[in-house]
Structure 1
């Protein structure tokens, strides 16, 4: 399958001299187009670093990164910024919505920041896609946590990105809201061929993905295809033990 994101022998180090820390140690991974991959591992295993390097938010120390058909390893900052605006969506645990803006305005914000004319119908269509057609003019304080996260997903999707990167997208939600968000992500993959790379600590969330990759000490140590939540939890427990 064609890769939406590919890492080849990626090393990422922070610090210098005796304080140098190797967060990623020779990671090679392919994330196929139209697939959902969960990335898991103990605290400090390199999950978030992997996400940041794959998305072009952080430079690798060694190795190569391909994103949306481009080798971004040594790409200039301006090129990376443009590629992220065009081809990448981000969803985080904390919804990062602007409190003074409506749901519709929050979703349109990435387009405005990129200097793109905001097609209102496109914004409203993506809010309808996440089940919030009747919440266009509501501000974040008027929405539940699950609804706020769906606004954040709509904001990430309005540019129709090649890849959606999600960092603990259900971490701040109750179980019912988390299930709604996971159902939405699953539908995006199955119905529109969206590619999702998601960092999570939750076996239930990971089990909704097509595949789960496990990291430990900056290395890929296991891979499960379409696992159950119990299988994910058991494997994670062995890694943390």
Structure 2
């Protein structure tokens, strides 16, 4: 069973619980959500609403208790670990708040790493091109300690994009950046969607960051409770404030 090519990833009736008995926590409760291809979806909600769990389940990093998960047109709900790992390497890119760069490697070597791990032949021209696309063509041989926070995050984005993934999952990608660096990174992500047709699913707590997306979806207590299309930062902030003040 597969889904249309216009959907990069999808959750259908997904529930995810942790723990047992009285200690059980329901992180997701029957969530159905599609991430359209060539579009940017931001995921928001109060602390503990299930945002990161949703992202991890959609990316195949976490197994669901109930429901179905589709990734790049293929159902992966019960896929063997080996199959799922191979699919992630080919179709998914990840960007996190902490950058996760290897300090002893240059920017070029950090970007090359996913290709080597996947057993893919490394073409230096491709690596240089993706670093040039994020504005770091002149920083190929710089190590993370020689780069600003914003530049390190752009290296992390280049590393995620070098495999040309069907969808990029970003978990608080601007959370560790100053405002100027955050704007640069968000503008880069916007260009990737508009000019290259990249699909992005991003968890964020920042209304200004979410306002760059094509759609913002809101979670509360593990449930999908609202969606805004091309909202302003003010509209996002107001909706989030309501969720934090009045549990759904």
Map of 2:67 onto structure 1: 63
Aligned mates of 2:110, 2:10 — CA distance in 1: 31
Aligned mates of 1:166, 1:198 — CA distance in 2: 5
Map of 1:125 onto structure 2: 129
Moved more, 70-79 or 112-121: 112-121
SS in 1 for 2:209: helix
1:6 aligns with one of 10, 17, 26: 10
- Deviations along 1:72-112, one digit per CA (max 9) or x if unpaired, are 00000001100110000000000000000000000000011
Is it true that 1:95 corresponds to 2:88 in the alignment?
A: no
Is it true that 1:232 corresponds to 2:233 in the alignment?
A: no
Is it true that 1:172 corresponds to 2:183 in the alignment?
A: no
Aligned mates of 1:65, 1:143 — CA distance in 2: 37
Aligned mates of 2:21, 2:212 — CA distance in 1: 42
Runs of 5+ consecutive residues of structure 2 not aligned to the other structure: none
Aligned mates of 2:209, 2:201 — CA distance in 1: 12
- Give the TM-score taking structure 1 as reference length: 0.99
SS in 1 for 2:108: helix
- Deviations along 1:16-52, one digit per CA (max 9) or x if unpaired, are 1121111000000111100000000000000000000
- Give the TM-score taking structure 2 as reference length: 0.96
Structure 1 position 65, deviation (Å): 0.6
1:41 aligns with one of 40, 45, 62: 45
2:36 aligns with one of 25, 32, 35: 32
1:20 aligns with one of 18, 24, 31: 24
How do 1:103-122 and structure 2 match up within 5 A?
A: 103-122=107-126
Aligned mates of 2:34, 2:118 — CA distance in 1: 29
SS in 2 for 1:134: coil
Aligned mates of 2:41, 2:47 — CA distance in 1: 19
Runs of 5+ consecutive residues of structure 1 not aligned to the other structure: none
Aligned mates of 2:117, 2:69 — CA distance in 1: 26
Structure 1 position 115, deviation (Å): 1.5
Map of 1:204 onto structure 2: 208
Aligned mates of 1:4, 1:160 — CA distance in 2: 13
SS in 2 for 1:133: coil
Aligned mates of 1:119, 1:17 — CA distance in 2: 52
